[in-house]
Structure 1
Amino acid sequence: MEKSYLSLLLLLIAISCALAKDAAKKDSKDTTAKPKLPQTLSRGWGDQLIWTQTYEEALFRAKHSQKPLMIIHHLEDCPHSQALKKVFAEHKDIQKLAEKFILLNLVYETTDKNLAPDGQYVPRVLFIDPSLTVRADITGRYSNRLYAYEPSDISLLYSNMQKALKLLKTEL
């Protein structure tokens, strides 16, 4: 009987040691992993700017504030989106001008077909006036992707932002 108790005790000790080693491995992995920062609504497009969370919220705020809405469609794993985001976030004049807009960046497609008038590609930037009309007259430089912008198009994007604000003033 003593042998069975001794065997049971040794078995418990062996299991405890194995579990302790496994727990120690998990702890060491956790300390070497970089802490993940919380995702903000800006997603890197301008952390100091005020971004809306949903398309519906953006439409509501645009209508009630009488500000134009700028929607940026992009994907986190798209190199073209990432390149445009970097230039957009570093461009001081764009960041300053963006304060005059209701801002939304989407990493998913909406069900509103008005937001993909010429297809679902990224990155694309659309401007919507407070009457909730997509400004088809404010486009990028490509005829086959009207709302596409590349990092080299940043000055065109800036002038289109100015145009959206100017059109708003003339319509009010």
Structure 2
Amino acid sequence: MEKRYMSMFLLLVAISCALAKEMGKKETKETTAKPKLPQTLSRGWGDQLIWTQTYEEALFRAKHGNKPLMIIHHLDDCPHSQALKKVFAEHKDIQKLAEKFILLNLVYETTDKNLSPDGQYVPRILFIDPSLTVRADITGRYSNRLYAYEPSDISLLYSNMQKALKLLKTEL
């Protein structure tokens, strides 16, 4: 009788081990197939930077923190946006200078028409001073898309970021 119980016990242990191994394989396949990274507010534009969540929050922080606001309009599936994002995120000087701004990147359009003074296109980068005025004097190199930047324009973007900070200091 004891042998029978011992045999049944060993059989149950063997079945449990086999099932546990099979479940472990399924979990490993599911987790190694596509690791999902959590979406951050940076959306890849600079994970170490502090990004605001909404346009309204960005305006509030710019006004009360007396800092310029830099808004990046882009789309996740736009190759031009992706190319600019890659160069922006890898440019150490831009990343360091960006720490002095209130930052917002938008993958949707806002209802504020001041943020699309010459149309709704991506990528587009606008600067807003603490008085909540869009700086129309800080533009890219294109006459038909004033606030557009390409990866080759990264030095111009850096220069425009410096200009936005200098304008802030001269207005104080």
Decide: shared fold, TM above 0.5: yes
Give the TM-score normalised by structure 2: 0.84
Between the aligned partners of 1:65 and 1:53, the Cα distance in structure 2 is 16
Range moving further from structure 2, 5-14 or 52-61? 5-14
Q: Which runs of 4+ in 1 moved over 2 A?
A: 1-33
Change (3 A) 1:144 1:4: farther
Alpha-carbon offset, residue 34 of structure 1: 1.4
Question: Which string of whole-angstrom CA distances, capped at 9 and with x for unpartnered residues, describes residues 35-58 of structure 1?
Answer: 211000000000000000000000
Change (3 A) 1:9 1:61: same
Change (3 A) 1:12 1:109: farther
State the identity %: 91
Between the aligned partners of 1:3 and 1:93, the Cα distance in structure 2 is 76
In structure 1, runs of 5+ residues without a counterpart are none
How many residues get paired?
A: 172
In structure 2, runs of 5+ residues without a counterpart are none
Between the aligned partners of 1:87 and 1:134, the Cα distance in structure 2 is 24
Between the aligned partners of 1:134 and 1:4, the Cα distance in structure 2 is 84
Aligned Cα RMSD in Å?
Answer: 4.2
Between the aligned partners of 1:139 and 1:18, the Cα distance in structure 2 is 65
Between the aligned partners of 2:170 and 2:120, the Cα distance in structure 1 is 31
Change (3 A) 1:2 1:114: farther
Question: Which string of whole-angstrom CA distances, capped at 9 and with x for unpartnered residues, describes residues 48-91 of structure 1?
Answer: 00000000000000000000000000000000000000000000
Specify the alignment match of 1:75 in structure 2. Answer: 75
Alpha-carbon offset, residue 33 of structure 1: 2.4
Change (3 A) 1:121 1:19: farther
Between the aligned partners of 1:27 and 1:170, the Cα distance in structure 2 is 59
Q: Which secondary structure does the structure 2 equivalent of 1:104 belong to?
A: strand
Question: Which string of whole-angstrom CA distances, capped at 9 and with x for unpartnered residues, describes residues 123-160 of structure 1?
Answer: 00000000000000000000000000000000000000
Between the aligned partners of 2:123 and 2:27, the Cα distance in structure 1 is 40
Q: Which secondary structure does the structure 2 equivalent of 1:141 belong to?
A: coil
